[in-house]
Amino acid sequence: MPAARSRRSLPKDAPMPPAPAAFADEIDAFIGTLELERGLARNTSQSYEKDLVQAAHFLARQGVAGWRAVTTDQLAAWLHWLADEKFTESSQARKLSAMRMLFRRHLVPAGVRNDDPTELLSGPKFRRKLPQVLSPGEMEKLLVAPSGADAYSVRDRAMLELFYSSGLRISELCGLTLQQVDLEHGFVCVFGKGSKERVVPLGEKARDAVTAYLGSGRPRLVKPRTGSELFLSERGKAISRKTVWLIVKTHAQRAGIAKHVKPHLLRHSFATHLLGGGADLRAIQEMLGHASIGTTQIYTAVESSRLLDQHAKHHPRNKLKG
């Protein structure tokens, strides 16, 4: 069946309507399995769910009666539609991965299907884009941007220092509790993807900033129903991802950094600067909480790219004309 040519009725970032009835139960069962049996984080499972619901709507528009009836050709048509709709190659690859997981980890093992129609599908060929990072100088400007003595400046300074010192994911940072931070010994205990526990060291600057925040910042943000969350909002609740995005963006602008600075850049910068300083790649993998060393190896490419850039700019033979 040819790929659908109708434009999607919702923008990419709009909330996805419920899955068509013929597809909904198996999606719900699969997502439940991921969360309960495999310990997948809710943010990750929601991403899988959204991808599968979107695919189910496409298949339903093509007259497919449910997951039992889906063919390889119909899934190929779905992939063509994603390309026609200008989804990025990485998004296409992620959506295909979610579909493969649905069949291989749920539909086939549960006996809903006795075959896997995704086996013959091929994803988009793409070159992985190197992550953008801040230079050490830019990072220093960002860290000193919240220079005030008010509770919010003290909090922001501690948060940025801890963020850069530990390389946490934004969800891990927002979920930190007082009990997870050991300032005496200089480490944080983190529960990352799949509820896997890891211990990440904290540098002296981060320890000092968090100590100052606990002494003069956090007490001023505490409200009657405040829990044990480390970084608090003005309402005394755990700081949200959206607020962290805003804080990082505001201080980057205040520091005069021209790059589009997002929270994840602090994680990328943490890894790249460690590698540039001579840290072992396996140690960086452990601190980042990467399941595979292959994921961490992207930072070797970033460091190599930086060295090539520096060579091109500063080696005298590269400056000669003709």
Burial class (CB in 10 A: 0-12, 13-18, 19+), 44: middle
Tell me: pLDDT of 2 over 80. Answer: no
Rg, C-alpha atoms of the chain:
23
Which pLDDT belongs to residue 140?
Answer: 95
Which residues are marked as active site? 169, 193, 264, 267, 290, 299
E strands, 168-218, are 181-182, 187-191, 197-201
Which pLDDT belongs to residue 320?
Answer: 47
Do the beta carbons of residue 67 and residue 112 sit within 8 Å?
A: yes
Classify 1-125 by CATH class.
mainly alpha
Q: For residue 120, count other CB atoms closer than 10 A to its CB.
A: 10
Which pLDDT belongs to residue 1?
Answer: 35
Which pLDDT belongs to residue 125?
Answer: 67
> When comparing pLDDT for 321 and 260, which is higher?
260
Whole-Å CA distances, 270 to 162, 276, 296? 11, 10, 12
Distance CA 217, CA 210 (A): 9
- Fold category of 136-314 in CATH: hpI Integrase; Chain A (1.10.443)
Distance CA 169, CA 143 (A): 17
Tell me which residue has tokens 């699969």: 30
Do the beta carbons of residue 23 and residue 60 sit within 8 Å?
A: yes
Distance CA 157, CA 142 (A): 9
Burial class (CB in 10 A: 0-12, 13-18, 19+), 47: middle
- For the chain, the domains span 1-125, 136-314
Which pLDDT belongs to residue 318?
Answer: 60
Q: What is the per-residue pLDDT across 10-66, written as a single tens digit (0 to 9) for each?
A: 444 456 678 899 999 999 999 988 877 766 667 778 888 999 999 999 999 999 999
| DSSP codes of every residue in 212-276 | HIIIIIGGGT--TT--SBSSB-TTSSBPPHHHHHHHHHHHHHHTT--S---HHHHHHHHHHHHHH
Which pLDDT belongs to residue 4?
Answer: 36
Distance CA 64, CA 80 (A): 17
Q: What is the per-residue pLDDT across 217-275, written as a single tens digit (0 to 9) for each?
A: 999 999 999 999 999 999 999 999 999 999 999 999 999 999 999 999 999 999 889 88
Mean pLDDT on 206-216: 96
Q: For residue 36, count other CB atoms closer than 10 A to its CB.
A: 9
| pTM score, whole prediction | 0.61
Tell me: pLDDT of 194 over 70. Answer: no
Q: What is the per-residue pLDDT across 137-186, written as a single tens digit (0 to 9) for each?
A: 999 999 999 999 999 999 999 999 999 999 999 999 999 999 999 999 99
